[in-house]
Structure 1
C-alpha cells in the first residue's frame, strides 16, 4: 500500500510521498481555509456586520493571497448561510431579521433535539462534569449579567453534548443553525434577561435526564422544548416589537 512505511537499504525508514503530503496538509491550512476562518471570525465577532460587503480584492490583499481562495471561502460561507451573493452587488454578510431568527430557532430545536438524544449514550462522566462546570459558570454570570458572555457559554455547554452525535449529517445541520445565530450581533438574552435563569435550570434538568439513562425521545423533547422556550420568550418580549431586526 502507498501509505505503508517502506524500509530502504541500510535499515532507514521512509514514509510514502502520499503520507508526507497528508501530514503537511494537516499542519499547514490551505489559503482557502485561511480566508474562510478569517472571514467567519470577523462575522461572528461583529467586525463584519449584517450587510457588510465582502470585496474579493480587498480581502485577498489583507491576507496576501490571490482572489481565487477568497472566492472559494465565500462560496463555502454562502452554503452555510452566513453570506449571500447578489448580482451587481456581490457578496454580503446576511442580515438576520426576526423572521429569520424564528425560522432558525424552530429548525434548530428539531435537529439539535435529535442530535442531543443521539449523543446521550456516548457521553462520558467527564463530559457531564464539563457541561455542569460550564453551567455553573453561566449561573455565576447571572449575578452581573453579561449577555454576550452568557451566550458564548451557552454555546459551549450545548456543544459538549451535541458534538458526540454520531450522525454527521444531523451534526452539520446543527452547526449551520448555530452559524446563522452567530450573525446576530446582540444576544437575544439582552432582550430577555429573565430567560437566562430558566435556561440554566433547564440545563441542569437536561443533564439529569441524560445521567439517569432516560429514553431518547424524552431527551429529544426536553432539548427541543428548551430551545423553543427561548424563542417564545423573545417573541413575547417588548424587545421583539422594538427590535424587528435582531441583527
Structure 2
C-alpha cells in the first residue's frame, strides 16, 4: 500500500465513521479545505475518500455545490427492507433442497442460542446469531450473484438504518423486545420445519418473506404510535 493510498483509507475511515455515527447532518455540505485541516491530510486523499463515499451512497455531489451528506428518509429504509425480504425469500427457497441434515440441526441449535440471547437482552449476541442463522441458509444458495447482491443490500440497509434512525435507535431495540423476538424465533422454526419437511417452494418463500416484513410493520407501528403521542 502506498503512502497516498494509506492516507485515502485513513480519511475514508474517519469520514465514514462520522457519517454513520450521525456526526454530520443529512444534506450538510462538506468543505474540503475544512476537512483537510480537521483530518490532517492533503486535498487529494480527501477528494478520493469522498468519491469512495459517493460510490457507497453516503455522499452526493450537487451541480454547483460540491459534496454533501446524502439525504435519506425512513421510507428509503422500508423500501430496502422490502427488497431484502424478496431476495432473502428466494435465496432460502433455492438453498432449501441443498441443506443437509447436519446443517438443519445447526440451524435449530443457532435458533436455540437466539432464545438465550433474547432472555438475557443481549442485543449484540442476538444480532450476530440472527445474521449467522440466515447466512447458514444463504451459503447453500447456488446463485452466487444473488448472494453477493444480498450481502451488499444487507450492508447498505444496516448503514441506512444507522442514518435515518439515529435519534430513534431505542425504538428499533424495543421492536426487538421479548414479544417480537419470540415472534422472530417462531418464524425461524417455521422456516426450518418447512425446509426439513420439503414443503412446497411457494410456501417456504412466503414464510421467509413474511419473516422480514413483520419486522418492517413492527417498526412502522412503533413510529406511528410515537408520532401520535
Q: Same fold (TM over 0.5)?
A: yes
Name the structure 1 match of 2:55: 76
Q: Distance in 2 between matches of 1:234 and 1:215?
A: 30
Name the structure 2 match of 1:220: 205
Name the structure 2 match of 1:197: 182
Gaps of 5+ in 2: 163-168
Q: How far off is 1:172 after superposition?
A: 3.6
CA contact (8 A) 2:11 2:46 kept: no
What is the RMSD computed on CA atoms of the aligned residues? Answer: 3.7
CA contact (8 A) 1:147 1:190 kept: no
Name the structure 2 match of 1:104: 80
**What is the SS of the residue equivalent to 1:66?**
helix
Q: How far off is 1:117 after superposition?
A: 0.8
Q: Deviations over 1:186-219 (max 9, x none)?
A: 3724235221111011112211211222232222
Please report the TM-score for the alignment, with normalisation by the length of structure 1: 0.65
Q: Distance in 1 between matches of 2:201 and 2:8?
A: 36
**Mapping 1:54-69, distance limit 5 Å:** 66-67=45-46
Greater C-alpha radius of gyration: 1
Name the structure 1 match of 2:165: none
The 1:32–1:71 alpha-carbon spacing in structure 2 relative to 1, beyond 3 Å, is farther
More helix by share: 2
**Mapping 1:105-184, distance limit 5 Å:** 105-183=81-159, 184=161
Q: How far off is 1:36 after superposition?
A: 10
Q: Distance in 1 between matches of 2:112 and 2:31?
A: 42
Gaps of 5+ in 1: 1-29
Count how many residue pairs are aligned between Structure 1 and Structure 2. 207
Q: How far off is 1:224 after superposition?
A: 0.5
